[in-house]
Amino acid sequence: MRQPFAPDAFDQVILGCVSVIADEMNPARIAALRLGMGEAMVAFTVQINCGSGMQSIDTAYRYIQRGTADLILAGGTDALSHSPLVYRRSAVEWFGRLAQARTLGARLKVFAGLRPSFFSPVIGLERGLTDPIVELNMGQTAELVSHLFGITRREADEYAVESHQRLARAQKEKWFDGELEPAFARDGTIYDFDDGVRPDSTVEALAKLRPAFERPWGKVTPGNSSQITDGASWVILASEDAVTKYGLKPRAVIVDSHWAALDPSIMGLGPVMCSTPLLRAHNLGLSDIDLWELNEAFAAQVLGCLAAWNDDTFCREALGLPGAMGVIDRNRLNVDGGAIGLGHPVGASGNRIVLHLVNAMKRLGLKRGIATECIGGGQGGAMLIEAMS
Amino acid sequence: MNKPTLAVLAPRNIELGPLAGVTTAGPWKHWRMARDADGIAWLVIDREGKSANTLSDEVFAELAGVLDVLEREPPKGLVLRSAKRSGFVAGADINMFVGEGAARLSEILTQGHAILDRLDRLPVPTVAVIHGYCLGGGLELALACDYRIAVDDARLGFPEVTLGLHPGLGGTVRLTRLINPVEAMTAMLTGRTLHARRAKSLGLVDATIPERHVRNAACAAIEKQLRTNRAGLTVSLFNSGLARGFLAGRMRKEAAKKAPPAHYPAPYALIELWEKHGGNAGAMQRAEIESFGRMVTTPTAQNLVRVFFLREKLKSFAGRRWTGSRVHVIGAGAMGGDIAAWCAWKGLHVTLADMKPEPLGGAVKRAADLFKKVSQKSAEVRDALDRLTPDLKGEGVRSADLVIEAVPEILDLKKKVYAAAEAAMKPDAILATNTSSIPLEQLREGLQRPERFLGLHFFNPVSRLQLVEIVSHDRTAPEVVAASNAFLGTIDRLPAPVKSEPGFLVNRALMPYLMEALLMLDQGVKKETIDRAAEDFGMPMGPIELADQVGLDICLHVAEVLRAQLPRPMPDAPQWLRDKVAKGELGRKTGKGLYDWKDGRAVKAADAPAPAPDAQDRLVLPMVDVCVACLREKIVADEEVIDASMIFATGFAPFRGGPMHYARQRGLADVKATLERLAAQYGERFRPDPGWSDLT
């Protein structure tokens, strides 16, 4: 509605979404139709775990760059609260046998094979957050990263507290106006506020929490992890031709992007693996970036990335650098909080951090930024973005 | 520019058997018939020159000719359907019956019955395929067939009761013998339409299918392969004399709740018809003809038929379909929210703006509740809600074809809204206000494009009250009025063109009704008694209850505005009313006003005394007088628009045909003299308007 062109002017829609439910296959197309973009709007859904919301932007960017599109709507969404409970395989097969049993005798025979365990559902979300190759859940990978780089429980809690406070401040100062749209439910409830924020968080309070994933000695707790939430984000990408044609006022330019992969058991280091080549390709150092959005999957994971960049051995041997890359100024990193307070709806985050990076740069009068995130399965994505004046 | 794919293909999605693509087949103007390769005759009704099928005497006469052919050379089976996209058959032409004398009427009906009986008795299987609406005479036509197949969107019903009649072409007999007679009588007594799925569960139709299976289903019916779900036992059980006697009493009681027998004779004639003759088809058929003939001549039926034509007249003001598709509503209060919801329901894209999110939340909830009530399908509800966008920042104004302002009645606030809207609106968009009390001449001051500004005054609740006063000022461009009329037609509301004067027509006419009631209250008359007097006249709701329903704050405000702006003497609002409003006792919306309200209903004492003999006149005649004044001041073009407006905006006793028609029926001289008498007795406020002398 803010744009001077009609909804059907887009060339296509790309949506990142991880937990697609059976009722809404290819949610990109469903969204396109329900947004009134017309029957002719091509739309597809992308899935690269936590990177999905950034992948949609990246794919759109490459299509436009290649010249096959001028205007693409790229988004990310996940409603983790809607994650289904799933029947285990043995139960599914039992149901199949029941459906095929035609006579009373056959049905009775099937019922004789009924086991109590069939009624115990699998929590889809739990399985989704566990890596099947290394058999660690996401929280456990953060534990491993924090161990390898000596991140302490206290440091993680301190990071989390600061993140909540930054978020609370941003909310209070209304810095999310124009970025956050209130949602209106059918029952009249208005959702205009991300209520995961805990502005009164203290390190002492967080210290009392028990580890979430590896008891009793783990460092990763519910208090210093991102929250499991619902969310959605959209970004419009336009070619130069489209900007001219419609008289658009772009807020930023995508300069470049890079994706990288690493061992799944330390997936939290993904941002380091992809941002570093991105910086190198443009002859930039860590401090040449005015603003960073590094998705806060876990406080320990963010701190692990910062430590890795400052680790001589790791930089030389894993990144091929002459030595440690340096330190990121904490006042340039996640300045308005992040997933720890806001939540990490898996498919949406990549999209949200790009959008917020742009808005934060405009607000602070900064020019060059990187949005980057770790990806379950052992990957990372990064985008180098310049704000337009 | 390529057309949407389905639109290109839709015309071929209507199964016409051997008549596909054929424009004439047989010597008839309104019918076509041909046999297919299997020997099945396909008979298609396609009334010449009309977009919808209705049964006229010519259509019937031709049908007799069709039956001649079918009786001479019986086919393997007969499939009967309509070629019109809009539906099967909407009913019999009212003009066939209206204005005819009793003898001629009996003749017409007997002939009609005879033709349908011939269809019924054809010695071959007959199947009616019904899509869209199948109402009144159309349903009677379908009932004369052996089978009925409904396409998914079919809607069947007998609306005759809303015209003060009942089915007269055999419907009362055939329906009560086909489905559970209690369901049949309920359908005929309420006039409600049944959707295909409900019709199937009752056994009224034998199958519901998408259009693509029509041929197979019709052939299956003819081969007697169709599994039907006929009522069987319930029919004979409830048609027994004992059952009829008992059930008729219950039906009378139910009917009396909504339609008192003194005002609406038709439901009771129908109940009596079934009670006396439900056990004997032949006798019931003859009695139906006689009863229908009687009903047509009742003043109620004549007035309700007139109301039907009044509705058609207002509908015709809408003209062509609106070219716009996007509406921006500013103000998400009771009116704005409901206007937005209704527009979204009718397929338009709506953005609803408000300064705060809470009213938007309330509007979305009310919209969702409304959609869920009027729709059976969750996809429809979802799509309608998708078309309603809460727009906190008011961004939708830029792409809107029509902007409707519905903010509180404060001049400066409205002007600020207009200034902001005009700066952002499309240059050819229309700016409309829902104001009820601020003169348009004041509101248009400072506008860049006053010619694109007019009033669209909706009534609450928007979903139920069809009338919208469309208010022009002396600089409104004619094409803006035309486009606004078209918009109202698109959202299925009835435009009543009025000039910009205080209160327009409806509020101005309601004011003396409400004020007199408050005065009577002051004089010690019980509120239930006052309301009874109006209900006895035929108003759907008495003035006290109406005041609570509208809101005492709104009543007070409108009363003050009108009193200030109109030259006519009007009693001042009583102090106790102001006190009540100040205390927050506003009526239904706060649970207490003049009445106490529980669960959306007024709590009324049961033992209130009967109204005084002149109570009705005291309440109703001032309304009529204001209508005469509005006619004289040329606020409304003619009496028909007045009657239509009052009926469709206030529910003014429709069986009386409207205030002006009532005055004429009663006698203009009598009404005028009564007003003079009331003036002498109660005060100048009853003095008849000079306009009475202009009425002929």
What pLDDT tens digit does each residue of chain A (389 aa) get? Answer: 889 999 999 999 999 999 998 899 999 999 999 999 999 999 999 999 999 999 999 999 999 999 999 999 999 999 988 877 888 888 888 888 888 888 898 899 998 888 888 888 878 787 888 999 999 999 999 999 999 999 999 999 999 999 999 999 999 999 999 999 999 999 999 999 898 899 888 999 999 999 999 989 999 999 999 998 999 999 999 999 999 999 999 999 999 999 999 999 999 999 999 999 999 999 999 999 999 999 999 999 999 999 999 999 999 999 999 999 999 999 999 999 999 999 999 999 999 999 999 999 999 999 999 999 999 999 999 999 999 98
Which pLDDT score, from 0 to 100, does residue A193 have?
Answer: 87
User: In the 3-class helix/strand/coil scheme, how is B513-532 assigned residue by residue?
Assistant: HHHHHHHHHHCCCCHHHHHH
- The catalytic position among B457, B473, B557, B661 is B457
Q: Chain A interface, mutation test: which of B8, B387, B399, most A Cβ atoms within 10 Å?
A: B399
For residues B553 and B548, what is the distance between their CA atoms, to the nearest angstrom? Answer: 9
* Two structure tokens written together for B393: 């920042």
Q: Decide: A151 and A303 in contact? Cβ < 8 Å.
A: yes
DSSP A335: B
Of B560 and A56, more confident: A56
For residues B696 and B694, what is the distance between their CA atoms, to the nearest angstrom? Answer: 6
Which pLDDT score, from 0 to 100, does residue B590 have?
Answer: 86
For B446, the enclosing helix (H) or strand (E) is none
For B195, the enclosing helix (H) or strand (E) is strand B194-195
- Largest pairwise CA distance in chain A: 77
| Tens of pLDDT, residues B197-233 | 999 999 999 999 999 999 999 999 999 988 888 878 8
Which residues does chain A have within 8 Å of residue B389's beta carbon, measured at their own beta carbons? 1
Check pLDDT > 90 for residue B3. no
Which pLDDT score, from 0 to 100, does residue B591 have?
Answer: 86
Which of A2, A34, A190 minimises the CB distance to B361? Answer: A190
Residues B357, A34: C-beta atoms closer than 8 Å: no
- Largest pairwise CA distance in chain B: 83
% of chain B at pLDDT higher than 90: 79
> What rounded mean pLDDT belongs to chain B?
93
Which pLDDT score, from 0 to 100, does residue B557 have?
Answer: 86
Contact partners, residue A202, CB within 8 Å, separation at least 6: A161
For residues B583 and B592, what is the distance between their CA atoms, to the nearest angstrom? Answer: 11
Q: Chain A interface, mutation test: which of B3, B5, B365, most A Cβ atoms within 10 Å?
A: B365
Tell me which residue has tokens 């985008």: A383
User: How many alpha carbons lie under 13 Å from residue B19 in its C-beta half-sphere?
Assistant: 25
- CA B50 centroid distance within chain: 22
Q: How far is A188 from chain B (nearest CA, A)?
A: 4
Q: Is B368 on the interface with A (CB under 8 A)?
A: yes
Which pLDDT score, from 0 to 100, does residue B550 have?
Answer: 84
DSSP A87: -
Residues A187, B4: C-beta atoms closer than 8 Å: no
Q: What is the ipTM of this complex?
A: 0.89
For residues B183 and B180, what is the distance between their CA atoms, to the nearest angstrom? Answer: 5
Say how many C-beta atoms besides its own lie within 10 A of residue B152's C-beta: 12
Q: How far is A247 from chain B (nearest CA, A)?
A: 15
Count of residues making up chain B: 696
Which residues does chain B have within 8 Å of residue A30's beta carbon, measured at their own beta carbons? none
B502 three-state secondary structure = coil
Q: Is B21 on the interface with A (CB under 8 A)?
A: no
Which pLDDT score, from 0 to 100, does residue A238 have?
Answer: 98
DSSP A115: -
Which pLDDT score, from 0 to 100, does residue A282 have?
Answer: 98
Which pLDDT score, from 0 to 100, does residue A385 have?
Answer: 98
DSSP B323: S
Instruction: Mark whether B166 is an active-site residue.
Output: no
Q: Is B355 on the interface with A (CB under 8 A)?
A: no
Check pLDDT > 80 for residue B571. no
Lowest mean pLDDT among B54-68, B452-466, B580-594, B621-635: B580-594
For residues B75 and A258, what is the distance between their CA atoms, to the nearest angstrom? Answer: 75
**Closest B-chain CA to A31:** B386
Which pLDDT score, from 0 to 100, does residue B95 have?
Answer: 84
Which residues does chain A have within 8 Å of residue B392's beta carbon, measured at their own beta carbons? 182
B415 three-state secondary structure = helix
**Closest A-chain CA to B368:** A186
Residues A188, B361: C-beta atoms closer than 8 Å: yes
Q: Is B415 on the interface with A (CB under 8 A)?
A: no
Q: Which residues of A lie closer than 8 Å to B, measured between beta carbons?
A: 1-2, 4, 6, 34-36, 39-40, 182, 184-190, 192
Check pLDDT > 80 for residue B1. no
Model pTM score: 0.92
Q: Chain B interface, mutation test: which of A24, A39, A177, A190, most B Cβ atoms within 10 Å?
A: A190
Check pLDDT > 90 for residue B365. yes
Residues B390, A184: C-beta atoms closer than 8 Å: yes
Catalytic residues of A: 50, 344, 374
Residues A36, B395: C-beta atoms closer than 8 Å: no
Q: Decide: A326 and A287 in contact? Cβ < 8 Å.
A: yes
For A66, the enclosing helix (H) or strand (E) is helix A52-66
> CA angle at residue B391 from A182 to A77, to 5 degrees?
40
Check pLDDT > 80 for residue B99. no
Which pLDDT score, from 0 to 100, does residue B101 have?
Answer: 81
Which of A34, A187, A192 minimises the CB distance to B357? Answer: A192
Q: Decide: A48 and A378 in contact? Cβ < 8 Å.
A: no
DSSP B471: E
User: Which B positions 377-396 lie with beta carbon below 8 A of chain A?
Assistant: 382-383, 385-387, 389-392, 395-396
Which of B361, B386, B395 minimises the CB distance to A189? Answer: B361
Residues B391, A184: C-beta atoms closer than 8 Å: no
Q: Is B360 on the interface with A (CB under 8 A)?
A: yes
Q: Chain A interface, mutation test: which of B355, B393, B425, most A Cβ atoms within 10 Å?
A: B393
Which residues does chain A have within 8 Å of residue B397's beta carbon, measured at their own beta carbons? none
Which residues does chain B have within 8 Å of residue A32's beta carbon, measured at their own beta carbons? none
Which of A2, A39, A182 minimises the CB distance to B357? Answer: A182
- CA nearest to B178, candidates B134, B225, B140: B140
Tell me which residue has tokens 């019980």: B526
Average pLDDT estimate for B169-196: 95
- CA nearest to A2, candidates B246, B69, B351: B351
A366 three-state secondary structure = coil
